[in-house]
Amino acid sequence: MEKFRSFDPCALLSPVPAVLVSCRGVEEDARPNMLTVAWAGTVNSDPPMVSVSVRKSRFSHGLIARSGEFVVNLVDEGHCRALDWCGVRSGRDGDKFAAVGLHPMAAEGMAYAPAVAECPAYLACKVRQVIELGSHDMFLGEVVGVQVQLFDPDGSLHLERAGLVCYNHGVYQKAEGVLGFFGYSVARPEVLEKRMKAYQK
């Protein structure tokens, strides 16, 4: 087995979700914007809260800070190129939605921030706290609206079929292949068989 090698301390946690964070200024004629974020995470369940960390220099930082809103859009494989493009171009220079062929739509509970119509799911968030950390500010957002596609006729949700994108130390990868479900290690054999078959459709 290859020996471990030491790195300088760094945020090597991988993989992490790669998401499009959409936002908008508070001005009446403000243009919607998107920011690629790989530093996003769940931080609380009651109330439901997520975090996104954004550099102060980013155009979206000011939009989120002033509006108090952001929307976390989960991204599928088909929109990975747009995801990357939005991370290397600034909204100061033009309309990112138009540039990558995506469309803003109204998001539940938001007065300003839109969702991305082409994404399979979004979490609409109200900023509850901003924590200055150094290179980034962390926006803690309470989730006030969620919309998701990928439901079966019986009402069960199957996000595992979305081909969601994750970020793994500089590369984008598709999250695919179900290895188990929460509690599968202690599930009765008949439950395990039934649940796992549902993931193989």
In this prediction, residues 137-160 reach a mean pLDDT of 91
Using the predicted structure, report yes or no on whether residue 111 has a pLDDT greater than 80: yes
Question: Could you give the CA distance from residue 135 to residue 57 in angstroms, rounded to a whole number?
Answer: 10
Phi, psi of 19 (to 5 degrees): -130, 160
Of residues 134, 131, 95, the one with CA closest to residue 114? 95
Using the predicted structure, report yes or no on whether residue 152 has a pLDDT greater than 90: no
Q: How confident is the model at residue 80 (pLDDT cuts 50, 70, 90)?
A: very high
Cα 69 to its chain centre, rounded Å, is 14
pLDDT for 20 equals 98
Using the predicted structure, report yes or no on whether residue 110 has a pLDDT greater than 90: yes
CA distances from 135 to 30, 108, 110, 115, 117 (A): 27, 31, 28, 27, 31
Share in percent of the chain as helix, strand, coil (round to 5)? 20, 35, 40
Q: How confident is the model at residue 175 (pLDDT cuts 50, 70, 90)?
A: confident
Question: Could you give the CA distance from residue 195 to residue 198 in angstroms, rounded to a whole number?
Answer: 5
In this prediction, residues 120-136 reach a mean pLDDT of 97
What token pair was written down for 46?
A: 């009651």
What token pair was written down for 79?
A: 């929109």
Q: Which residue has the higher pLDDT, 116 or 199?
A: 116
